[in-house]
Amino acid sequence: MLDIIIFLVLLALGYGFGRWAEKKHFASIIEREELLRGLLTFSGRFPPQGLGPLETVLVDGNVVISVDYFKRISAALRSLLGGRVTAYESLLERARREAILRMKQQAFDSGASHVINVKLETASISKGYGKQVGSVEVFAYGTALIPQST
Amino acid sequence: MLVSNIEIIPGKRIRQHLGMVQGNTVRAKHAGRDIMASVKNIFGGELKGYTELLTEAREEAVGRMVRQAESIGANAVINVRFSTSSVAAGAAELFAYGTAVVLE
Protein backbone atom coordinates (compact mmCIF):
# COMPACT_ATOMS: atom_id res chain seq x y z
CA MET A 1 0.00 0.00 0.00
CA LEU A 2 2.75 2.39 1.03
CA ASP A 3 4.65 1.50 -2.13
CA ILE A 4 1.68 2.50 -4.25
CA ILE A 5 1.33 5.80 -2.42
CA ILE A 6 5.02 6.60 -2.88
CA PHE A 7 4.77 5.67 -6.53
CA LEU A 8 1.75 7.91 -7.09
CA VAL A 9 3.35 10.82 -5.22
CA LEU A 10 6.51 10.52 -7.32
CA LEU A 11 4.41 10.31 -10.46
CA ALA A 12 2.45 13.42 -9.53
CA LEU A 13 5.58 15.34 -8.57
CA GLY A 14 7.25 14.31 -11.81
CA TYR A 15 4.25 15.32 -13.86
CA GLY A 16 3.74 18.66 -12.12
CA PHE A 17 7.32 19.86 -11.85
CA GLY A 18 8.38 18.24 -15.11
CA ARG A 19 5.66 20.02 -17.11
CA TRP A 20 6.36 23.28 -15.36
CA ALA A 21 10.12 23.08 -15.93
CA GLU A 22 9.66 22.12 -19.56
CA LYS A 23 7.27 24.98 -20.26
CA LYS A 24 9.58 27.47 -18.60
CA HIS A 25 12.57 26.11 -20.47
CA PHE A 26 10.86 26.28 -23.85
CA ALA A 27 9.78 29.86 -23.20
CA SER A 28 13.36 30.82 -22.37
CA ILE A 29 14.72 28.97 -25.41
CA ILE A 30 12.34 30.77 -27.77
CA GLU A 31 13.18 34.13 -26.24
CA ARG A 32 16.94 33.63 -26.51
CA GLU A 33 16.69 32.20 -30.02
CA GLU A 34 14.98 35.41 -31.04
CA LEU A 35 17.83 37.46 -29.56
CA LEU A 36 20.51 35.47 -31.37
CA ARG A 37 18.67 35.26 -34.69
CA GLY A 38 21.20 37.55 -36.38
CA LEU A 39 24.03 35.11 -35.77
CA LEU A 40 23.93 32.57 -38.56
CA THR A 41 24.96 28.96 -38.06
CA PHE A 42 25.87 26.53 -40.80
CA SER A 43 26.71 22.88 -40.78
CA GLY A 44 28.82 23.34 -43.91
CA ARG A 45 32.58 23.32 -43.70
CA PHE A 46 33.41 26.37 -45.79
CA PRO A 47 32.92 29.99 -44.78
CA PRO A 48 30.42 31.94 -46.92
CA GLN A 49 31.96 33.89 -49.79
CA GLY A 50 32.96 37.53 -49.55
CA LEU A 51 33.35 38.01 -45.82
CA GLY A 52 36.77 39.67 -45.90
CA PRO A 53 39.50 38.95 -43.38
CA LEU A 54 38.43 36.61 -40.60
CA GLU A 55 39.58 35.33 -37.29
CA THR A 56 38.42 31.85 -36.26
CA VAL A 57 37.76 30.46 -32.82
CA LEU A 58 36.31 27.18 -31.58
CA VAL A 59 33.04 27.63 -29.69
CA ASP A 60 30.99 25.02 -27.86
CA GLY A 61 27.98 24.55 -25.66
CA ASN A 62 26.72 21.62 -23.67
CA VAL A 63 23.79 20.74 -21.45
CA VAL A 64 22.73 17.76 -19.39
CA ILE A 65 19.00 17.33 -18.95
CA SER A 66 17.35 14.64 -16.87
CA VAL A 67 14.12 12.82 -17.46
CA ASP A 68 11.41 13.30 -14.84
CA TYR A 69 9.69 10.40 -13.17
CA PHE A 70 6.44 10.73 -15.08
CA LYS A 71 8.20 10.72 -18.44
CA ARG A 72 10.22 7.70 -17.51
CA ILE A 73 7.08 5.73 -16.62
CA SER A 74 5.19 6.89 -19.70
CA ALA A 75 8.15 5.96 -21.90
CA ALA A 76 8.34 2.55 -20.25
CA LEU A 77 4.63 2.01 -20.98
CA ARG A 78 5.13 3.25 -24.51
CA SER A 79 7.91 0.78 -25.12
CA LEU A 80 5.40 -2.02 -24.52
CA LEU A 81 3.17 -0.75 -27.29
CA GLY A 82 5.75 0.75 -29.64
CA GLY A 83 5.37 3.97 -31.56
CA ARG A 84 6.47 7.54 -30.94
CA VAL A 85 7.86 8.28 -27.51
CA THR A 86 6.78 11.91 -27.34
CA ALA A 87 8.01 12.23 -23.75
CA TYR A 88 11.60 11.73 -24.90
CA GLU A 89 11.22 13.64 -28.16
CA SER A 90 10.61 16.91 -26.39
CA LEU A 91 13.44 16.19 -23.95
CA LEU A 92 15.97 15.78 -26.74
CA GLU A 93 14.64 18.77 -28.63
CA ARG A 94 15.07 20.93 -25.53
CA ALA A 95 18.58 19.67 -24.95
CA ARG A 96 19.67 20.24 -28.56
CA ARG A 97 18.25 23.72 -28.83
CA GLU A 98 19.77 24.67 -25.48
CA ALA A 99 23.22 23.36 -26.46
CA ILE A 100 23.11 25.27 -29.76
CA LEU A 101 22.01 28.40 -27.93
CA ARG A 102 24.89 28.20 -25.49
CA MET A 103 27.30 27.77 -28.35
CA LYS A 104 25.77 30.75 -30.16
CA GLN A 105 25.94 32.84 -27.00
CA GLN A 106 29.64 32.09 -26.68
CA ALA A 107 30.16 33.03 -30.33
CA PHE A 108 28.15 36.21 -29.85
CA ASP A 109 30.24 37.20 -26.82
CA SER A 110 33.42 36.91 -28.85
CA GLY A 111 31.94 39.15 -31.56
CA ALA A 112 31.38 36.53 -34.25
CA SER A 113 29.09 36.98 -37.24
CA HIS A 114 28.77 33.35 -38.30
CA VAL A 115 29.32 29.88 -36.89
CA ILE A 116 30.25 27.24 -39.42
CA ASN A 117 30.84 23.50 -39.33
CA VAL A 118 28.44 22.97 -36.43
CA LYS A 119 28.46 19.43 -35.12
CA LEU A 120 26.13 17.93 -32.54
CA GLU A 121 26.83 15.04 -30.28
CA THR A 122 24.43 13.21 -28.00
CA ALA A 123 25.43 10.95 -25.15
CA SER A 124 23.31 9.25 -22.55
CA ILE A 125 24.72 9.45 -19.06
CA SER A 126 24.36 6.81 -16.35
CA LYS A 127 23.28 4.27 -18.89
CA GLY A 128 24.92 1.45 -17.01
CA TYR A 129 22.68 1.91 -13.99
CA GLY A 130 20.17 -0.78 -14.78
CA LYS A 131 16.68 0.62 -14.82
CA GLN A 132 17.79 4.15 -13.99
CA VAL A 133 17.81 5.60 -17.49
CA GLY A 134 18.71 9.03 -16.28
CA SER A 135 19.85 11.89 -18.34
CA VAL A 136 21.02 12.95 -21.73
CA GLU A 137 23.89 15.22 -22.68
CA VAL A 138 23.98 17.20 -25.88
CA PHE A 139 27.19 18.89 -26.95
CA ALA A 140 27.31 21.36 -29.84
CA TYR A 141 30.51 22.74 -31.31
CA GLY A 142 31.54 24.80 -34.29
CA THR A 143 33.92 27.41 -35.60
CA ALA A 144 32.98 31.03 -35.01
CA LEU A 145 34.04 33.54 -37.66
CA ILE A 146 34.98 36.93 -36.31
CA PRO A 147 35.23 39.66 -38.95
CA GLN A 148 38.43 41.69 -38.74
CA SER A 149 38.30 45.34 -39.63
CA THR A 150 41.69 46.16 -41.12
CA MET B 1 47.64 28.03 -30.31
CA LEU B 2 44.73 28.09 -32.70
CA VAL B 3 42.14 25.34 -32.27
CA SER B 4 39.45 24.96 -34.89
CA ASN B 5 37.12 22.35 -36.27
CA ILE B 6 37.39 23.43 -39.90
CA GLU B 7 40.27 22.21 -42.03
CA ILE B 8 41.10 25.41 -43.89
CA ILE B 9 41.77 28.55 -41.88
CA PRO B 10 40.67 31.61 -43.89
CA GLY B 11 43.61 33.75 -44.94
CA LYS B 12 46.27 31.36 -43.65
CA ARG B 13 48.32 28.72 -45.37
CA ILE B 14 49.43 25.45 -43.91
CA ARG B 15 53.19 25.16 -44.10
CA GLN B 16 53.56 21.75 -42.52
CA HIS B 17 51.38 18.85 -41.47
CA LEU B 18 52.43 17.13 -38.24
CA GLY B 19 49.83 14.39 -38.01
CA MET B 20 47.11 13.61 -35.53
CA VAL B 21 47.15 14.74 -31.92
CA GLN B 22 44.73 13.63 -29.26
CA GLY B 23 43.76 14.18 -25.66
CA ASN B 24 41.39 12.32 -23.41
CA THR B 25 40.17 12.17 -19.86
CA VAL B 26 37.95 9.77 -17.95
CA ARG B 27 35.79 11.32 -15.29
CA ALA B 28 33.58 9.81 -12.67
CA LYS B 29 30.70 11.55 -11.00
CA HIS B 30 31.18 12.26 -7.33
CA ALA B 31 28.72 11.07 -4.76
CA GLY B 32 27.32 14.45 -3.73
CA ARG B 33 26.44 15.33 -7.28
CA ASP B 34 25.03 11.87 -7.74
CA ILE B 35 22.58 12.33 -4.89
CA MET B 36 21.46 15.69 -6.23
CA ALA B 37 21.07 14.14 -9.65
CA SER B 38 18.88 11.33 -8.38
CA VAL B 39 16.61 13.92 -6.76
CA LYS B 40 16.50 15.81 -10.04
CA ASN B 41 15.63 12.56 -11.76
CA ILE B 42 12.19 12.75 -10.16
CA PHE B 43 11.50 16.35 -11.11
CA GLY B 44 13.31 16.56 -14.42
CA GLY B 45 15.27 19.58 -15.59
CA GLU B 46 18.87 20.49 -16.14
CA LEU B 47 21.59 18.77 -14.13
CA LYS B 48 23.92 21.73 -13.67
CA GLY B 49 26.51 19.71 -11.78
CA TYR B 50 26.94 17.31 -14.69
CA THR B 51 26.94 20.08 -17.25
CA GLU B 52 29.84 21.72 -15.41
CA LEU B 53 31.63 18.43 -14.90
CA LEU B 54 31.51 17.62 -18.60
CA THR B 55 32.55 21.13 -19.60
CA GLU B 56 35.59 20.92 -17.33
CA ALA B 57 36.42 17.45 -18.58
CA ARG B 58 36.23 18.56 -22.20
CA GLU B 59 38.47 21.54 -21.48
CA GLU B 60 40.95 19.14 -19.97
CA ALA B 61 40.84 16.85 -23.01
CA VAL B 62 41.40 19.83 -25.31
CA GLY B 63 44.21 21.04 -23.04
CA ARG B 64 45.99 17.73 -23.29
CA MET B 65 45.59 17.69 -27.05
CA VAL B 66 47.01 21.22 -27.26
CA ARG B 67 49.98 20.27 -25.06
CA GLN B 68 50.74 17.35 -27.33
CA ALA B 69 50.57 19.62 -30.35
CA GLU B 70 52.90 22.12 -28.69
CA SER B 71 55.40 19.42 -27.88
CA ILE B 72 55.76 18.51 -31.56
CA GLY B 73 56.12 22.13 -32.59
CA ALA B 74 52.70 22.93 -34.03
CA ASN B 75 51.04 26.31 -33.76
CA ALA B 76 47.50 25.21 -34.63
CA VAL B 77 45.21 22.21 -34.35
CA ILE B 78 42.64 21.95 -37.11
CA ASN B 79 39.77 19.63 -37.92
CA VAL B 80 39.11 18.97 -34.23
CA ARG B 81 36.46 16.38 -33.34
CA PHE B 82 34.99 15.41 -29.99
CA SER B 83 33.73 12.07 -28.86
CA THR B 84 32.11 10.83 -25.67
CA SER B 85 31.74 7.28 -24.51
CA SER B 86 30.68 5.72 -21.24
CA VAL B 87 33.37 3.35 -20.12
CA ALA B 88 31.70 1.93 -17.04
CA ALA B 89 28.67 2.76 -14.91
CA GLY B 90 29.18 6.28 -13.65
CA ALA B 91 32.31 7.09 -15.64
CA ALA B 92 32.58 8.75 -19.01
CA GLU B 93 35.48 9.22 -21.35
CA LEU B 94 35.83 12.48 -23.22
CA PHE B 95 38.10 12.44 -26.18
CA ALA B 96 39.30 15.22 -28.47
CA TYR B 97 41.40 14.73 -31.57
CA GLY B 98 42.62 16.82 -34.43
CA THR B 99 45.41 17.48 -36.91
CA ALA B 100 48.46 19.41 -35.75
CA VAL B 101 49.81 21.83 -38.32
CA VAL B 102 52.23 24.71 -38.66
CA LEU B 103 50.53 27.78 -40.08
CA GLU B 104 52.36 30.62 -41.74
B9 → chain A, closest CA residue: A56
Q: What is the pLDDT of residue A128?
A: 46
Is A33's pLDDT higher than 90?
Answer: yes
Determine, for residues B5 and A127 on separate chains, whether the beta-carbon distance falls below 8 Å: no
Task: Please report which helix (H) or strand (E) contains residue B60, including its range.
Answer: helix B48-71
Whether residues A65 and B55 touch (CB distance < 8 A) is answered with no
pLDDT digits (tens, 9 = 90+) for B25-74: 998 776 666 777 777 777 778 888 888 888 999 999 999 999 999 999 99
Structural domain boundaries enclosing A87: 2-147
What whole-number distance in Å separates Cα of residue B60 and Cα of residue B96?
10
How many domains, in total, are found in chain A?
A: 1
Q: Would you call A67 an interface residue with chain B, using a CB distance cutoff of 8 Å?
A: yes
Mind listing the pLDDT tens digit for each residue in A46-88?
888 878 888 889 999 999 888 888 888 888 888 888 888 888 8
The band of A150, judged by pLDDT with boundaries at 50, 70 and 90, is low
Q: Which residue of A has its CA nearest to B53?
A: A64
Residues of B with CB below 8 A from A45's CB? Answer: 6-7
pLDDT tens for A77-135 read: 888 888 888 888 888 999 999 999 999 999 999 999 999 999 999 887 655 454 555 67
- CATH number of the domain bearing residue A128: 3.30.110.70
**Does the model's ipTM exceed the 0.90 cut?**
no
| Residue-by-residue DSSP string for chain A | -HHHHHHHHHHHHHHHHHHHHHHHHHHHHHHHHHHTTTSEE--SSSPPSS--SEEEEEEEEEEEEEPPHHHHHHHHHHHHH-S--HHHHHHHHHHHHHHHHHHHHHHHHTT-SEEEEEEEEEEEESTTSTT---EEEEEEEEEEEEE---
CATH number listed for the domain at residues B2-103: 3.30.110.70
Q: Are strands A135-147 and A114-125 parallel, antiparallel or unpaired?
A: antiparallel
Domain coordinates in residue numbering, chain B: 2-103
- State the nearest Cα–Cα gap between A43 and chain B, in angstroms: 11
Categorize the per-residue pLDDT at B8 as very low, low, confident or very high, splitting at 50, 70 and 90: confident
A96 touching B (Cβ < 8 Å): no
